[in-house]
Amino acid sequence: MTTTLLLNRCHYPVTALGPGVRAGIWVQGCTIACPGCVAVDTWAATPEAAVGVDAVMGWLSTLDGPVDGVTISGGEPFQQPQAVGALIREIRDWAGPGRLDVLVYSGYSLSRLRSRTHLSALVDLCDAVVTGPYVRARPDGGWLRGSSNQVLTPLTALGRERYGAESVEATRSGEPEAPLKAPRMQVSVEGGRVRMIGVPRRGDLDRAAEELRRAGIEIEGASWWS
Ligand code: SF4
C-alpha cells in the first residue's frame, strides 16, 4: 500500500523557490503557527488532503518540461516525516543521482531537527534545507528566506553547488546570492485562484493587493491576512 501524504498542492513550473525550473510540492498541516505566515491555508491537517505518494510521483514524472529541482514546503514537511521521506526517496529513484536537487522548508531549527533521529534522517535525504520559523519582527531574510533568523543550509555537493554556502556559519555570515534572473515571487492562476509563489519581502503582498485594487480587482480571502 502506498504511503499517503497530506498535500496542499503541487505546481509546475516554480522559478521563485530555488535555482532553475522546479516542481513545487506544498504539504498540508502546520502547528507552528508563526504570526505573519503567508500560508495560513496550509495549517489545518485535514484527512481529506491525503493523497498517495504514487499520485504525486505520477504528476511529477509526467511534467512537460525540465525539472532542475523539487521544492517541498508547506505547511510543515517535518510534521509528516515518514510520508515526505517516502516522497523524496521516490523522487531520487525516478531522477537518478545528481540530476535534480531537493530543497525542503521547515519552521523548526536545524539543531532541533538534528536532535531527533527520525527527523535528522529526513534532513539527510535533502540537498538543502531552509530552517527556522518565520519571525515578523526580524528583517527580510534574503534569497529563499522570509526572515533573517531563517538559515539556508546546503547538505550535499549538489546543494553546495546550487545554494552557494559551505556551512551554516557561512550562510549566516556570507549572504548567499540568488542566481541571476531568479525572481523573488511569481504569480499563477489555478482553478480560478491567484497564487503567489516565492518568499515575499515585507509588504510585497499588501503592495500587490493595493495595485490590484487600484486596477479594480479586489482580493478576497488572501492566505496572508490572518
Ligand atoms: S511560516 Fe512555515 S512554519 Fe511558520 S506557520 Fe507558516 S507554514 Fe508553519
pLDDT in tens, 41-95: 999 999 999 999 999 999 999 999 999 999 999 999 999 999 999 999 999 999 9
Cβ 55 vs Cβ 6: under 8 Å: no
pLDDT, greater one: 201 or 169: 201
DSSP 149-208: T-EEEE-SHHHHHHH--SSHHHHHHS-PPPPTT--SEEEEEETTEEEEEE-PPTTHHHHH
d(CA 73, CA 77): 6
Which domains, and CATH codes, for the chain? 4-214 (3.20.20)
d(CA 8, CA 10): 7
Cβ 140 vs Cβ 202: under 8 Å: yes
pLDDT > 70 fraction of the chain, expressed in percent and rounded: 89
Question: What pTM did the predictor assign?
Answer: 0.88
pLDDT (tens digit per residue) in 129-160: 999 999 999 988 888 999 999 999 999 999 99
pLDDT, greater one: 190 or 121: 121
Write the DSSP symbol of residue 25. E
pLDDT attached to residue 168:
39
pLDDT attached to residue 210:
82
CB-defined site of ligand 1, < 6 Å: 30, 32-34, 37, 39, 42, 74-76, 107, 133-134
The span from the first CA to the last CA of the chain, in angstroms, equals: 37
- Mean pLDDT of the chain, nearest integer: 88
> How many angstroms does the Cα of residue 83 sit away from the middle of ligand 1?
18
Banded model confidence at residue 180, pLDDT cuts 50, 70, 90: low
d(CA 225, CA 75): 16
Closest ligand 1 atom to 38 CA = 6
Query: Ligand 1 pocket: which of 26, 37, 136 to mutate (most atoms <8 Å of CB)?
Result: 37
